[in-house]
Amino acid sequence: MSGTDGFDPDRVKCVVWDLDGTLWDEIAVESDTDALPTPRAGTLAAIDALAALGVLSSIASRSAPSVLERLEKAPALRSRFLAPQVSWQDKSESLRAIAKDLGIAVDALLLVDDSPYERAEVEALLPGVRTLAPEDVPALLAAFEGREVTPESRERVRRYRTEETRRAEGERFQGSREEFLRRCDMRLTVGAATPGEIPRALELAARTHRLNSSGLTPDRLRELAAAEGHELYTASMTDRFGEYGVIGAALVDRSAPGRWSVPLLALSCRVAGRGAAAAFLFRLMRRARERGVEEFRVTLRPTDANLEMRMLLRQAGLRRVDEPGDGASADSAVLGRSLHDELPEPPAWLRVTEREDAEA
274 and 199 in a common domain: yes
1 occurs within a structural domain: no
Q: Give the neighbor-by-neighbor strand order of the sheet with 350-354.
A: 319-322, 333-338, 295-300, 259-267, 242-253, 230-239, 186-192, 350-354
The runs of H, that is alpha helices, within 59-150 are 65-72, 75-78, 91-102, 116-125, 137-143
Domain end marker among 91, 124, 143: 143
Judged by DSSP in three states, 58 sits in: strand
Tell whether 3 is covered by a domain: no
Give pLDDT tens digits for 169-188: 999 999 999 999 999 999 99
Q: What is the mean pLDDT of residues 290-298?
A: 96
Share of the chain above pLDDT 90, in %: 75
Name the domain boundary from 79, 113, 143: 143
Looking at the structure, tell me whether residues 94 and 203 fall in a common domain: no
Assess contact for 201 and 249: CB atoms under 8 A.
yes
**Structural domain of 76:** 9-143
Q: Is residue 201 part of a domain?
A: yes
Average pLDDT over residues 250-267: 96
Asked if residue 2 belongs to a domain, the reply is no
- What's the mean pLDDT in 36-41? 94
Q: Is 20 exposed, middle or buried (CB count within 10 Å of its CB: 0-12, 13-18, 19+)?
A: buried
How far is CA 334 from each of CA 17, 237, 270, 285, 317, rounded to the nearest angstrom? 41, 28, 26, 16, 13
- Average predicted confidence (pLDDT) for the chain: 91
Structural domain contains residue 309: yes
pTM of the entire structure?
0.77
**Mean pLDDT value across residues 46-73:** 93
- pLDDT of residue 214 exceeding 50, the answer is yes
**Cα separation, 346 vs 276, whole angstroms:** 8
Same domain? For 126 and 155 the reply is: no
Kindly state whether residue 276 falls inside one of the protein's structural domains.
Answer: yes
Number of folded domains that form the chain? 2
- Say yes or no: 32 and 118 in one domain: yes
**Of 143, 177, 210, the domain-final residue:** 143
Can you tell me whether residue 277 is helix, strand or coil? helix
Instruction: Name the residue among 137, 136, 129, 79 with its Cα closest to residue 104.
Output: 129
* DSSP H or E run through 359: helix 355-359
Do 253 and 350 lie in one domain? The reply is: yes
Query: Do residue 86 and residue 218 come from a single domain?
Result: no
Long-range contact pairs involving 247-252 (C-beta distance under 8 Å, separation at least 24)? 247/271, 247/276, 248/204, 248/276, 248/277, 248/280, 249/193, 249/200, 249/201, 249/204, 249/205, 250/280, 250/281, 250/284, 251/216, 251/221, 251/224, 251/225, 251/327, 252/284, 252/288
Asked if pLDDT for residue 157 goes beyond 90, the answer is no
* Residue 327 pLDDT exceeds 70: no
Summarize pLDDT for 259-274 with one digit per residue, the tens: 999 999 999 988 988 9
CA distance 112 to 43: 10
| CATH for 330 | 3.40.630.30
pLDDT at 359: 41
Q: What local confidence, expressed as pLDDT, does residue 284 receive?
A: 97
181 and 120 in a single domain? The answer is no
Residues 214 and 349 in one domain: yes
Q: Is the per-residue pLDDT at 313 higher than 70?
A: yes
User: For residue 182, what pLDDT is reported?
Assistant: 94
> Is residue 4 situated within a structural domain?
no
pLDDT band for position 322 (cuts 50, 70, 90): low
Looking at the fold, whether 197 and 54 belong to one and the same domain comes out as no
The confidence score (pLDDT) of residue 6 equals: 64
Count the Cβ atoms, other than its own, within 10 Å of residue 173: 14
Q: Which residues contact 78 (CB under 8 A, 6 or more apart)?
A: 71, 72, 84
Answer yes or no: do 184 and 295 share one domain: yes
Is 121 in the same domain as 208?
A: no
State the pLDDT confidence band at 1, using cuts at 50, 70 and 90.
low
Residue 360: its pLDDT value, please? Answer: 34
Closest to 278 (Cα-Cα) out of 216, 180, 211: 211
Q: Which residue has the higher pLDDT, 210 or 294?
A: 294
139, 183: one domain:
no
For the ranges 12-21, 82-91, 150-159, 346-355, the lowest mean pLDDT is seen at 150-159
Residue 57 belongs to a domain with what CATH number? 3.40.50.1000
Cβ neighbours of residue 165 under 8 Å, at least 6 residues apart? 241
